[in-house]
Amino acid sequence: MGRKVQGNLVIIGGAEDKREDKVILREVVRLAGGRNAKVAVVAVAAEDQEHLGSEYENIFRELGVAGVGVVHVNSRRDASLQANVAEIAGATGVFFTGGDQLRITSLMGGTELDRELHRAYERGVVIAGTSAGASAMTDTMIVEGDQEDAPRNLAIRMAPGMGLLEEVVVDQHFAQRGRIGRLMLAVAQNPYILGVGIDEDTAVVVDAQARFKVIGSGTVTVIDGTSLEHSSVSERELNQPVAIIGATVHVLAPGYGFDLASRLPLPPHGAVTAAR
């Protein structure tokens, strides 16, 4: 990775458990300071921000967090309101809901709220996001693309994300929506970018040493394009099937991890696996 991770990230594949053990959301609270946490719920990705913001506010309160605020952003002007900026400035944890990841970047990008978010990240505040909120964490994000299909040329559209995690692209609802083809294509188009596909009710927790661990009930698929021997992505016509040869694929269960700097998987006891 070109730049080390600066703080804590919890990147969730969507549809996390909100009613029973709440393993992932409990981890967000723990990292944010437990009962002393101050969580800012940012619902900018959602069209119905009132409903989704209130839902997560109630969940975090049920988990023992007294200090919960909801940030509503329906315009770029909202992203410069002092009240919204203050919510981020005073938070020990920031949580991005699902929705449309382009709403996050188009409404927040380059605003005072965006700058305050990055300042919070740099001082170690935990930043969490689910579904669209997960996709927007990285410097490049998938915003549209065919799923449940083999990789086809130009079948995806990508855009700049929030840039909290560099040289990584995240896809969510991964196994449930059959998205391995489009993540493969994203990596084939940008082989230096690490593809991370996160199942529903599953998350990666990224630490300041640029390592992540898998928590939740599903798996995380990591596609490393640095070993790529050949792809036909630049040769095929629009919507034609693409050949991808030599990419390295890891499937990580809960308890396993990954070193983003060395691009090596980590078994549950934490020792780095042998180099390829």
The pLDDT of residue 273 is above 60: no
Q: Which residue, 197, 146, 203, 151, is CA-closest to 171?
A: 197
Mean pLDDT of 113-122: 96
Two structure tokens written together for 73? 């952003």
The residues assigned a catalytic role are 131, 173, 200
Two structure tokens written together for 154? 């130009």
The pLDDT of residue 164 is above 60: yes
Give kind and range of the element (H or E) at residue 14: none
Q: Is 126 inside a domain boundary?
A: yes
CATH number at residue 121: 3.40.50.880
Distance of CA 275 to CAs 165, 175, 261, Å?
23, 27, 13
**What integer pLDDT is reported at residue 171 of this predicted model?**
97
**pLDDT range class, residue 57, cuts 50, 70, 90:** very high
Q: Is 40 inside a domain boundary?
A: yes
Would you tell me how many other CB atoms lie within 10 Å of the CB of residue 62? 12
64: alpha, beta or left? (left if phi > 0; alpha if psi -120 to 50):
left
CA angle 270, 199, 94 (to 5 degrees): 80
Q: Is 275 inside a domain boundary?
A: no
Q: Is 102 inside a domain boundary?
A: yes
Q: Is 2 inside a domain boundary?
A: no
The pLDDT of residue 241 is above 50: yes
The pLDDT of residue 7 is above 90: no
d(CA 268, CA 214): 10
If one compares 18 and 242, the residue with the highest pLDDT of the two is 18
pTM of the predicted structure, to 2 decimals: 0.94
Q: Is 274 inside a domain boundary?
A: no
Q: Is 271 inside a domain boundary?
A: no
By residue range, what is the domain housing residue 203?
9-259
The pLDDT of residue 1 is above 50: no
Q: Which residue, 22, 21, 78, 24, is CA-closest to 204?
A: 24
**pLDDT range class, residue 264, cuts 50, 70, 90:** very high
d(CA 122, CA 62): 28
Inter-residue contact 34 to 64 (CB < 8 Å): yes
**pLDDT range class, residue 144, cuts 50, 70, 90:** confident
Q: Is 208 inside a domain boundary?
A: yes
Mind listing the pLDDT tens digit for each residue in 167-195?
Answer: 999 999 999 999 999 999 999 999 999 99
d(CA 162, CA 180): 23
Task: Give the count of domains, the chain.
Answer: 1
If one compares 183 and 7, the residue with the highest pLDDT of the two is 183
If one compares 157 and 12, the residue with the highest pLDDT of the two is 12
